[in-house]
Amino acid sequence: MEVIKQNSQLKILKHVLIIFLSSIALIISAKIKIPFYPVPMTMQTFMVLFLGIILGYKIALLSVCLYLLEGIIGFPVFSNSPERGVGWVYFTGPTMGYLLGFISACYLASFIRVKDNYLIIFFKLIFSVSTIYILGVLWLGIAIGWDKPLFKLGVAPFLLAEFFKITILTLLTKKILNIKRFI
């Protein structure tokens, strides 16, 4: 009985460590800006999808939620913080819908399987990341007004970068899923 209790405690400790390290990976992915056209690219959406694939939805969701909580309580974890603010004020700004979309995207990406062919993987990733943009544009409309060109402002500048990231992730997914069994 004692051995089972110890194994359970080690498993919980392992999961807490993975969640913490994953939130750090999200922070790093938000801060690195890669020159890209028409706007600089961060690797946040790539990392969100990657975490869903490699960790499964439970651990990935907890990782993304920890990242969001860190930002809400004031740590400068988001892409444009501290330059454009921190904490609840930044979180509830124009990007809140996108940030909340990270939750749905990592959840949906967790359903990609090694038996899926590359085309299926690609479309599952497109569907997953599209939830980020759907929620993002919905909130953007609330935040800045529905009379603005929301698609032009909140989606179009990022499409080329998303296509690039999803293509890379599609090609890596089967290898990622093979690594997953060791986590």
Examine the pLDDT at 138 and tell me if it is beyond 90: yes
Number of domains forming the structure of the chain: 1
Of 178 and 180, the structure prediction assigns the larger pLDDT to 178
53-77 pLDDT, tens digit per residue, is 999 999 999 999 999 999 999 999 9
Mean pLDDT, the chain, as a whole number? 93
Residue 172, domain extent: 2-180
Examine the pLDDT at 4 and tell me if it is beyond 80: no
pTM of the model: 0.92
Q: How confident is the model at residue 7 (pLDDT cuts 50, 70, 90)?
A: confident
CATH number for the domain spanning 102: value is: 1.10.1760.20
Instruction: Give whole-number Cα distances, 104 to 21, 75, 99, 136, in Å.
Output: 20, 23, 10, 12
Element containing residue 69 per DSSP (H, E): helix 44-72
Look up residue 58 and give its two tokens.
């439970």
**What string of DSSP letters covers 22-41?**
HHHHHHHHHH--B--SSS-B
Give the CA angle between residues 102, 108, 109 to the nearest 5°. Answer: 85
